[in-house]
Amino acid sequence: MSIHKLIQALNISKNVRKQLMMRRVLLSLIPIILFSIYLYGWRVLALLVIVTISGVITEYLFERTRKSKPSDSVLVTCFLFTLTLPITIPYWIAIVGIVFAVTFGKQVFGGFGRNVFNPALVGRCFIYISFPSFMTSNWVKPFTSFPGGFAAWMPNVVDATTQATPMTLIQLGEEVPYSMGQLIAGNIPGSIGESSVILIILAAVYLIYKKTASWQIMVSTLLGMLGIESIFLLIGISNFSNPLMSILSGGFLFAAVFMATDPVTAPSQANVKIIFGLLVGTIASIIRNFSVFPEGVMFAILIVNSFVPLMDSIAKNAKSKGKKVTI
State the CB neighbour count (10 A cutoff) for residue 221: 34
pLDDT score for 327: 31
pLDDT score for 6: 44
pLDDT score for 164: 62
HSE (CB half, 13 Å, CA atoms) of 53?
12
The residue type at 11? N
Query: Cα(276)–Cα(216) distance, rounded to whole angstroms?
Result: 9
The CA radius of gyration of the chain, in Å to the nearest whole number, is 20
User: Who contacts 270 (Cβ-Cβ below 8 Å, separation ≥6)?
Assistant: 216
CB-based contact 245:180 (threshold 8 Å): yes
pTM for the predicted model, two decimal places:
0.88
- The tens digit of pLDDT for each residue in 265-280 reads 999 888 899 999 999 9
Which residues in the chain land under pLDDT 70?
Answer: 1-16, 157-177, 322-327
pLDDT score for 130: 93
> At CA 242, angle to CA 186 and CA 246, rounded to 5?
50
Query: Cα(255)–Cα(264) distance, rounded to whole angstroms?
Result: 15
Q: Mind giving me the DSSP string for 35-68? A: HHHHHH-THHHHHHHHHHHHHHHHHHHHHGGGT-
79: nearest Cα among 104, 98, 62:
98
pLDDT score for 326: 36
CB-based contact 26:75 (threshold 8 Å): yes
Enumerate the domain spans of the chain: 3-136, 179-310
